[in-house]
Amino acid sequence: MIDIALMANDVHVVILAGGSGTRFWPASRRHSPKQLLPLAGRVDEPLIAATVRRVAPIIAPENIWVSTNTILVNATAEVLPQVSRDRFLAEPAARNTAPCIGWATATIARTNPDAIIAVLPADHFVADEPEFRRVMASAVQAAREGWLTTIGIVPTRPETGYGYIEAGAIVAEGVHSATRFIEKPTRERAEALVSGGRHLWNAGMFFYSARVMLAAIKKHLPALAEGLSALDHAASRGDEATTLANVFPSLPAISIDHGVMEKADRIAVVPGSFGWNDVGSWEATWEMAPRDSQGNSLPQNSIAIDATNNLVRDLSNTANGKRWALVGVHDLVVVETDDAVLVIPRERAQDVRAIVDELKSRGETHRL
């Protein structure tokens, strides 16, 4: 398989790892969210570790940054031993993606204002990693040429859970101008978008020159630009931490899509097909898991009799040496941890949130 070589030393990756979803309860918890868990692909590799491994062949190790928050930074650093501790950016408050990306960009720009930056979600799955790196290379090239660039996933179904990007004129090999961002559509609209062949899924991946992004922020999110400027000054005084704690929580809580991409000029999109999955629920985990001939993904040495297409994950301390036995059950998800067991049909995996709501209303937040 042809793979691409290490990129120039001015290319940085920022991994967004501040998420705190509930869709993988009981495995995911406030202090151990989705990206820190092995929910797709290798059974012992947290999603964020796979994300770092995926870019490691083309990005210099010191150019890999992890944007997370003060609650998760230690746990995150623990699963990423190859990332130096000074490459972790820990937000003191959740302010959506624009402040987070802005701060990471400003930080990198202090040493290289013309750095090329790739922003990648920590918790997605990619089946074809060499192809992903090839698409990344195209996006980096477009960013080098001044485009605020995204990767648009070639849709495989009329998904209503994602935003779409409209691809316009071809502006370089494999690169289109992005003419429009479309919010999560209705079913009917999604079908029209997908059959039209010009719309791609917005996967939250962004590629740009630091200089171009900071200029766009200054133009479209001046309040954020001011905050970033205060952080720059504080950093030059060697006192960024205090200012961060004071300034960050008051930055505008807005996504980079809404705040910048939808308003800026020269937006590009690189269509990509590399077996992308946003790992949205236990159903997705089952889809991507290695499965036996009956379609089951079970703990080692499980017994399955007339049982098909089930997912069992035993994450409890007693998992070793415990024997799971399934008879006559189908399309079921069972997840066990030390303090909870979930039993749910695969097709209802999204309804895990109802459990989380119930636990909240009972005040059992220690289980969240």
CA 12 vs CA 36, 37, 103, 256: distances in Å? 22, 24, 14, 18
Q: How far is the CB of 304 from a copy of itself (least distance, A)?
A: 10
Among the listed ranges 125-133, 226-234, 268-276, 347-355, the one in contact with a copy of itself (CB under 8 A) is 347-355
C-alpha distances (whole Å) from 49 to each of 321, 346, 365 are: 27, 26, 27
- Is residue 311 a contact point for a copy of itself (CB under 8 A)? no
Cα 362 to chain centroid distance, Å, stands at 31
Cβ within 8 Å of residue 315, ≥6 positions away? 27, 335, 336, 337
Q: Which of 327, 330, 294, 298 is nearest to 311 (CA)?
A: 298
Closest CA to 310 of 288, 294, 321: 294
| Nearest-approach distance from CB 224 to a copy of itself, in angstroms | 40
Among 24, 125, 274, 324, binds a copy of itself (CB under 8 A): 324
**Counting contacts by CB under 8 A, is residue 318 touching a copy of itself?**
yes
CB 18 within 8 A of CB 67: yes
Cβ 326 to a copy of itself, closest distance in Å?
5
Options 27-35, 90-98, 236-244, 337-345: segment touching a copy of itself (CB under 8 A): 337-345
DSSP alpha helix (H) spans, 32-96: 47-55, 73-79
Considering the rule CB under 8 A, would residue 166 count as an interface residue with a copy of itself? no
CA 169 to chain centre: 28
Distance of CA 87 to the CA centre of its chain: 18
Instruction: Choose the stretch contacting a copy of itself; rule: CB under 8 A; options: 43-51, 115-123, 178-186, 349-357.
Output: 349-357
* Preceding amide of 290 cis, omega within 30: no
User: Applying CB under 8 A, which of residues 180, 246, 303, 360 lies at the interface with a copy of itself?
Assistant: 303
Distance in Å, CB of 36 to a copy of itself, minimum: 21
296/151 Cα distance (integer angstroms): 33
**Which one among 189, 218, 258, 367 touches a copy of itself, defined by CB under 8 A?**
367
The neighbouring-strand residues paired with 335 are 313, 342
Q: Which is nearer to a copy of itself, 53 or 348 (CB)?
A: 348
Q: Among 81, 290, 321, 363, indicate the residue that binds a copy of itself (CB under 8 A).
A: 321
Nearest to 64 by CA among 125, 115, 2: 115
Residue 137 phi, psi (nearest 5): -60, -40
Min dist CB 47 to a copy of itself, Å, is 23
Binding residues for a copy of itself restricted to 16-55, rule: CB under 8 A: 26
Given the rule CB under 8 A, which of 112-120, 167-175, 285-293, 356-364 is the region that contacts a copy of itself?
356-364
- Exactly one of 53, 198, 218, 348 binds a copy of itself (CB under 8 A); that residue is 348
81 vs 328, beta carbon nearer a copy of itself: 328
Non-local (6+) Cβ contacts of 137 within 8 A are 4, 7, 58
Q: Which listed range, 58-66, 105-113, 155-163, 340-348, lies at the site for a copy of itself (CB under 8 A)?
A: 340-348
Work out whether 315 is an interface residue with a copy of itself (CB under 8 A): no
Structure token digits, residue 193: 């978008």
> CB burial class (10 A; 0-12, 13-18, 19+) of residue 237?
exposed
- Counting residues that bind a copy of itself (by CB under 8 A) gives 36
Q: Does 364 bind a copy of itself (CB under 8 A)?
A: yes
Q: How far is the CB of 262 from a copy of itself (least distance, A)?
A: 37
Interface residues with a copy of itself (CB under 8 A) are: 26, 303, 305, 307, 314, 316, 318, 321-329, 332, 334, 336, 338-345, 348, 351-352, 354-355, 358-359, 364, 367
